[in-house]
Amino acid sequence: MSHSMKTLIYIISFLLFISWGLYIYLSSMTPSLTKNWEEDQKVLTNISFSGTTITMKDIRNFRYKSTDSFEKWYYDSKYDVAQVTSVDYIIEPFGDIDGFAHTMLSFWFDDGKYISVSAEIRKEVWESFHPVLWLLNKYEIVYIVWDEEDLIKLRANYRKDQVILYPIKADKKDIEKLFLSVMQRAQSLSQTPEFYNTLTKTCTTSILSHVNSLRAEYQATPIEWGKKVFLPSHSDEIAYDLWLINTDLTLSEAREYYTINELSEQHQAWENYSKMIRKEIR
């Protein structure tokens, strides 16, 4: 046997050994609900369902002095699925690398209520993040249910990240189904923990799963999990190409127009904050 062939066999054997060890390691890991969580993620919203009524206990609505200084506050509320009127797609680009972003959904009801949902890593106290660890069952995934003011002000007013608030064009019945699906998933994760995964279970792939479930009802082709999903700041390209963003602008124009940081700063103390940060459809 030649030297090169022996080397190849050695490399393959080593990779198989590493793969088997990694498989054993991942198989032994168990997600948990009972760790020493960061203060802002200790409490998850409890959600219950009765007919078209969804009761939520401990909806997050923090008040901030800075990103690290805040007053924890939660409230309870009920929502009628039949009253959900619209949904917005929110993108928060961040970091110095193109493509890094967080994506969220916000729902509006005809009684004036707004509720937002964000799929996130649930952080332990002093836990640091590393992209490789996101693949190795290091972090749990949860859906955080927010008052919209908390969700947007934290990002736009305190983190100073760009926040793009896209109005979505969709049939009301589909919005109702989307809201119900998201809330069911939020409650499931609050009771049965799962691991976060950079490739398969993120903020954007979570939203995509809900959307693809709706598309399956119409026997529509599922949206593929490609570059624009794994680089979430480009995920609006998918929505734009599918005519889901309610706009006649070009995508670059829509990104600029629907950025709401300035409005969020101007109206942060207004009682009708959620209405004031929304722009007319263009």
pLDDT digits (tens, 9 = 90+) for 90-131: 999 987 778 899 999 999 999 889 999 999 999 899 876 665
If asked whether residues 126 and 151 sit together in one domain, one would say yes
11 and 151: one domain?
Answer: no
- Give yes or no: residues 23 and 84 share one domain: no
> Is 282 a member of any domain?
no
pLDDT at 257 over 90: yes
pLDDT tens, residue by residue, 222-254 = 998 888 898 999 999 999 999 999 999 999 999
Same domain for 95 and 23 = no
| Residue 150 maps to a domain | yes
pLDDT on residue 134: 58
- pLDDT single digits (tens) 62-72: 999 998 899 99
Same-domain check for residues 75 and 98: yes
How far apart (Å, rounded) are the C-alpha atoms in residues 201 and 194?
Answer: 9
The span from the CA of 212 to the CA of 214, in Å, is 5
Residue 17 lies in a domain: yes
Q: Are 114 and 106 in contact (CB under 8 A)?
A: yes
The residue ranking higher by pLDDT, 137 or 80, is 80
pLDDT band at 138 (very low <50, low <70, confident <90, very high): confident
- Inside any domain, residue 263: yes
Same structural domain for residues 64 and 16? no
Q: Which one has a higher pLDDT value, 127 or 216?
A: 216
- Residue in the structure block whose two tokens are 């127009």: 257
Residues 19 and 119 in one domain: no
Is the pLDDT score of 8 beyond 60? no
pLDDT beyond 50 at 17? no
Q: Within this chain, do residues 92 and 136 fall inside the same structural domain, yes or no?
A: yes
Does some domain include residue 246? yes
Q: Which residues contact 227 (CB under 8 A, 6 or more apart)?
A: 234
Q: Are residues 43 and 81 in the same domain?
A: yes
User: Which pLDDT belongs to residue 271?
Assistant: 86
Tell me: the pLDDT tens digits for 142-182?
Answer: 999 999 999 999 999 999 999 999 999 999 999 999 999 99
In a domain, 133, yes or no: yes
**pLDDT tens across 142-153, in order?**
999 999 999 999
In a domain, 48, yes or no: yes
What is the domain count for the chain? 2
Q: Which residue is associated with the tokens 């693949």?
A: 135
Which element (helix H / strand E) includes 99?
Answer: none
Per-residue pLDDT tens digits for 53-96: 999 999 999 999 998 899 999 999 999 999 999 999 999 998 77
pLDDT at residue number 12: 56
Question: Do 128 and 61 share a structural domain?
Answer: yes
pLDDT tier, 29 (very low <50, low <70, confident <90, very high otherwise): low
pLDDT surpasses 50 at 23: no
Tokens 């078209």 correspond to what residue?
52
**Residue 281 maps to a domain:** no
| Residues in CB range of 151: below 8 A, 6 or more apart | 90, 104, 106, 116, 118
Pair (18, 44) in one structural domain? no
For 193, residues 6+ apart whose C-beta sits below 8 A from its C-beta are 31, 32, 33, 140
State which residues form the domain around 19.
1-30
Query: Are 91 and 79 within 8 A, CB to CB?
Result: no
What mean pLDDT is reported for the chain?
A: 88
Residue 217 phi/psi, 5-degree rounding, is: -65, -30
In this prediction, residue 132 has a pLDDT band, given cuts at 50, 70 and 90, of low
Same domain for 221 and 102, yes or no, is yes
pLDDT for residue 19? 45
